[in-house]
């Protein structure tokens, strides 16, 4: 199987597992419809793909990592729904479609996000085929990454960083929390599912830190000069909001260089391992992404 085929197969696994979970819910009002609208709307599934790939890299059975992967994607989806709300970024489009609150209204969008955040931990705690210790470790890993010392901390720092004098280090700190922590958790959840710690988990965590930063810089590049049709949302929102980004601090050429360097460093961290092929390929692919 080629790496591209493996990626498609894993994406299909994730889609059907998420769809199965949503189908199992009792459709109170339009809550489940609103959750499904954002959960099953063409996301790239990068984070759950990383979880499955890390589990494989550690010699684990990928089916054992599937619930962790889906729970993580639920957290990511909740964060996007809430981030798009009028009280936050006030965005009208995501993935080429109206944002959740534009379709279902703000109150339902808030509840859909809340429900996904809660469902994520339900799905983790019920992951089949794993020891209770692994389930507890996974819940701990994801709650630390998503909560007030992780993604939510990054979001509040981003909200208050209206200062046009923000430095590169300040922006890097915000992004490593807001975007980076879930990407780190993605690989760590794969290790936990495979019951592997130590050197491999450490190498994967550094790989994820580099990858996460490159991913965010690429996001800023795409907001500056991406293709709106391909991205599924208007570009230039950072500039319109007067946001300090990696592009305003380092310029487009500087940002492209940083993405290249960070990708090389990420690959360098894991390439000594025979099983690293897919993860190295994925890092290269993300550096070239257009959406």
Binding site for ligand GRG (CB under 6 A): 43-44, 46, 79-80, 82-83, 95, 151-152, 155, 178-179, 216, 219
**242 CB-contact burial (10 Å; exposed 0-12 / middle 13-18 / buried 19+):** exposed
Closest-by-Cβ residue to ligand GRG is 43
Whichever of 7 and 80 has its CB closer to ligand GRG, that residue is: 80
Cα distances (Å, whole numbers) of residue 265 to 213, 253, 284: 11, 18, 11
CB of 245 to ligand GRG, least distance (A): 10
Whichever of 60 and 154 has its CB closer to ligand GRG, that residue is: 154
CA separation for the pair 51, 185 (Å, rounded): 8
Beta strands per DSSP E along the chain: 93-94, 97-98
Whichever of 15 and 219 has its CB closer to ligand GRG, that residue is: 219
CB of 197 to ligand GRG, least distance (A): 27
CB of 113 to ligand GRG, least distance (A): 8
User: 94: which strand partners?
Assistant: 97
In the block, residue with structure tokens 């990454």: 145
Whichever of 158 and 269 has its CB closer to ligand GRG, that residue is: 158
Whichever of 45 and 200 has its CB closer to ligand GRG, that residue is: 45
Beta strands per DSSP E along 39-172: 93-94, 97-98
CA separation for the pair 144, 141 (Å, rounded): 5
What are the structure tokens assigned to 164, written together?
Answer: 């046009």
CB of 188 to ligand GRG, least distance (A): 17
CA separation for the pair 225, 131 (Å, rounded): 47
Whichever of 138 and 177 has its CB closer to ligand GRG, that residue is: 177
What are the structure tokens assigned to 222, written together?
Answer: 């795409």
What are the structure tokens assigned to 90, written together?
Answer: 């006030």
CB of 209 to ligand GRG, least distance (A): 15
Whichever of 76 and 200 has its CB closer to ligand GRG, that residue is: 76
Whichever of 57 and 215 has its CB closer to ligand GRG, that residue is: 215
CB of 44 to ligand GRG, least distance (A): 3
CA separation for the pair 289, 183 (Å, rounded): 16
CB of 79 to ligand GRG, least distance (A): 4
User: 97: which strand partners?
Assistant: 94
Reference 76, options 230, 171, 180, 191; nearest CA is 180
CB of 286 to ligand GRG, least distance (A): 9
Angle 91-16-75 from CA coordinates, rounded to 5°: 40
User: 98: which strand partners?
Assistant: 93
């Amino acid at each position: 199987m080629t790496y591209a085929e493996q990626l498609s197969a894993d994406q299909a696994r994730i889609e059907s597992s998420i769809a199965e979970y949503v189908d199992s819910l009792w459709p109170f009002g339009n809550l489940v419809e609103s959750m499904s609208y954002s959960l099953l709307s063409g996301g790239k599934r990068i984070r759950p793909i990383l979880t499955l790939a890390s589990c494989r890299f550690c010699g684990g059975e990928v089916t054992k990592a599937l619930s962790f992967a889906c729970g993580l994607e639920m957290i990511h989806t909740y964060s996007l729904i809430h981030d798009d709300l009028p009280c936050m970024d006030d965005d009208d489009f995501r993935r080429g479609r109206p944002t959740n609150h534009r379709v279902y209204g703000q109150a339902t969008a808030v509840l859909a996000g809340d429900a996904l955040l809660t469902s994520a931990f339900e799905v983790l705690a019920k992951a089949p085929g794993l020891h209770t210790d692994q389930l507890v470790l996974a819940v701990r890993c994801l709650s630390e990454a998503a909560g007030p010392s992780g993604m939510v901390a990054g979001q509040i720092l981003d909200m208050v960083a209206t200062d046009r004098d923000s430095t590169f280090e300040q922006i890097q700190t915000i992004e490593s929390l807001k975007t980076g922590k879930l990407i780190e958790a993605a690989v760590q959840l794969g290790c936990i599912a495979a019951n592997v710690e130590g050197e491999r988990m450490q190498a994967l965590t550094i790989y994820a830190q580099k990858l996460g930063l490159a991913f965010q810089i690429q996001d800023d590049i795409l907001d500056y000069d991406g293709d709106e049709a391909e991205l599924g949302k208007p570009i230039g929102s950072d500039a319109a909001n007067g946001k300090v980004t990696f592009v305003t601090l380092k310029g487009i050429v500087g940002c492209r260089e940083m993405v290249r360097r960070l990708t090389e460093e990420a690959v360098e961290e894991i390439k000594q391992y025979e099983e690293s092929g897919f993860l190295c390929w994925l890092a290269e692919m993300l550096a070239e992404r257009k959406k």
